[in-house]
């Protein structure tokens, strides 16, 4: 994060003696890009290297589904049964070398701590609230939040109520788009959100507790469990630029215009070879001749995944909250026959959706296969047939108010 934060006690200068009840604390520099990127400095009661036992290493296996045909897809995730916890319950939908996208509806609580050792995470909270307990302090979250967790953050979910998460994990960095920041890192005027919309951990709770604690670390294509003899949240203070934070999709200020605004106006985060965008309720194009739904477009260099959160897509048969449309590269997509005409005069949309565009092809999982409706690719054709009624013309795909 391009701004400085500090919680708890830190010494006057870095790299000098700092004691707690006479005991010299262990200083840990958590940093990116060697020692030149963003970093935070944490002060531990115990060495964070101290491992009592090595637990099991469990490789992550993605079961790939290679479809018989290359086509647009519609996955319906609403009815997915809960399983696992906030980590083990992540079920991969699609992935490539830059990002893994999974759905999580946990049914259990975490009885261990987790750390993504080699990747950043964005957890979009579709349903539920709670607290992400972290070594940087408590991070409250609620429905509509993006929870952004940098690699190296040890954490544990304390959920309240049923949870439904859309999870992005990446070996690259999750960043605020470069064009939203000036050379000092401040978010510029004209960006769709500001620093006040970004919420770092609120309180640091230093836990002084001996025992046996399991820390599961995502590393080297799997999860390695370590048993440590001191509670991982033994930090008395930290400062720096690296910490978990939340940003609510409801705080994204949509950019609208006289005629259609292209998808980059919805960009929320930048990743390595992908972007995450938020489509929020907004006024639509106001030119008298505007066509307030998008033009057809071909994703010549990207794949487009859209997760529908809430709002008015009842006008699109089959697309509901929890639906995912996937428009893979190499194919055009856009409004279905008749929709452009029907959209004329529409001035606002209530839909809420999260989009991830990747610049390299995504692989699909067998989990995605089981959610695929198998007919979405045909919806542009069927709605162009004689006899297709207005409801039919409103069917799946690029909807009346959609950005697609
Ligand atoms: Fe699109």
pLDDT higher than 80, residue 268:
yes
Binned at pLDDT 50, 70 and 90, residue 340 comes out as confident
The rounded distance, in Å, linking the Cα atoms of 373 and 127 is 23
Tell me the CA–centroid distance for residue 293 and ligand 1, in Å.
11
Tell me the CA–centroid distance for residue 74 and ligand 1, in Å.
14
Tell me the CA–centroid distance for residue 266 and ligand 1, in Å.
12
Tell me the CA–centroid distance for residue 24 and ligand 1, in Å.
56
pLDDT higher than 80, residue 398:
no
Residue 368: φ, ψ to 5°? -65, -40
pLDDT of residue 391: 39
pLDDT of residue 404: 53
What value does the mean pLDDT of the chain take? 93
pLDDT higher than 90, residue 342:
no
The rounded distance, in Å, linking the Cα atoms of 164 and 258 is 36
pLDDT in tens, 359-376: 999 999 999 999 999 999
Tell me the CA–centroid distance for residue 275 and ligand 1, in Å.
13
pLDDT in tens, 121-154: 999 999 999 999 999 999 999 999 999 999 999 9
Mean pLDDT throughout 319-335? 93
Tell me the CA–centroid distance for residue 334 and ligand 1, in Å.
7
Tell me the CA–centroid distance for residue 403 and ligand 1, in Å.
7
pLDDT in tens, 162-208: 999 999 999 999 999 999 999 999 999 999 999 999 999 999 999 99
- If phi > 0 it is left, if psi is from -120 to 50 it is alpha, else beta; for residue 185 that is left
What is the model's pTM? 0.95
Maximum average pLDDT range among 122-126, 258-262, 347-351, 377-381: 122-126
Tell me the CA–centroid distance for residue 306 and ligand 1, in Å.
9
Task: Give 57-92 as a DSSP string.
Answer: EEE----EE--SS---EEEE-TTPPP-S-TTTTEEE
pLDDT of residue 157: 98
> In this structure, are residues 181 and 193 in contact, taking their beta carbons and an 8 Å threshold?
no
Binned at pLDDT 50, 70 and 90, residue 313 comes out as low
Buried b (16+ CB within 10 A) or exposed e, 344-375: eeeeebebbbbbbbbbeebebbebbbebbeee
Binned at pLDDT 50, 70 and 90, residue 352 comes out as very high
Instruction: Say which residue, 89 or 2, is predicted with more confidence.
Output: 89
Tell me the CA–centroid distance for residue 98 and ligand 1, in Å.
20
């Amino acid at each position: 994060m391009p701004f400085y934060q500090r919680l708890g006690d830190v010494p006057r200068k870095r790299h000098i003696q700092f004691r707690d009840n006479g005991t010299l604390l262990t200083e840990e520099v958590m940093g990116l890009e060697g020692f030149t990127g963003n970093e935070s400095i944490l002060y531990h009661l115990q060495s964070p290297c101290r491992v009592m036992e090595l637990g099991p290493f469990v490789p992550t296996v993605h079961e790939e589904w290679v479809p018989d045909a290359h086509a647009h897809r519609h996955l319906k995730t609403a009815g997915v049964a809960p399983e696992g916890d906030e980590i083990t319950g992540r079920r991969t939908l699609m992935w490539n070398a830059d990002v893994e996208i999974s759905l999580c509806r946990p049914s259990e609580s975490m009885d261990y701590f987790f750390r993504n050792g080699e990747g950043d995470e964005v957890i979009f909270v579709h349903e539920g609230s709670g607290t992400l307990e972290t070594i940087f302090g408590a991070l409250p979250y609620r429905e509509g939040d993006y929870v952004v967790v940098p690699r190296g953050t040890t954490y544990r979910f304390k959920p309240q109520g049923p949870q439904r998460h859309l999870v992005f994990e990446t070996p690259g960095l999750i960043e605020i788009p470069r064009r939203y920041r000036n050379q000092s890192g401040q978010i510029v005027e004209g960006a769709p959100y500001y620093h006040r919309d970004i919420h770092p951990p609120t309180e640091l709770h230093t836990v002084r507790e001996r025992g046996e604690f399991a820390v599961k670390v995502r590393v080297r294509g799997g999860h390695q469990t370590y048993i440590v003899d001191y509670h991982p949240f033994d930090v008395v203070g930290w400062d720096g630029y690296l910490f978990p934070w939340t940003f609510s999709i409801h705080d994204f200020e949509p950019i609208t215009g006289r005629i259609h605004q292209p998808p980059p106006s919805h960009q929320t985060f930048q990743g390595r070879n992908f972007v995450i965008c938020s489509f929020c309720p907004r006024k639509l194009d106001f030119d008298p001749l505007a066509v307030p739904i998008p033009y057809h477009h071909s994703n010549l260099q990207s794949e487009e995944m859209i997760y529908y959160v809430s709002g008015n897509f009842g006008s699109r048969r089959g697309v509901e909250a929890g639906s995912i449309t996937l428009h893979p590269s190499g194919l055009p997509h856009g409004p279905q026959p008749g929709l452009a005409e029907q959209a004329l005069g529409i001035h606002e949309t209530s839909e809420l959706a999260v989009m991830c565009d990747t610049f390299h092809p995504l692989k699909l999982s067998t989990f995605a296969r089981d959610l695929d409706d198998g007919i979405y690719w045909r919806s542009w054709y069927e709605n162009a047939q004689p006899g297709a009624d207005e409801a039919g013309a409103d069917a799946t795909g690029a909807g009346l108010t959609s950005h697609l």
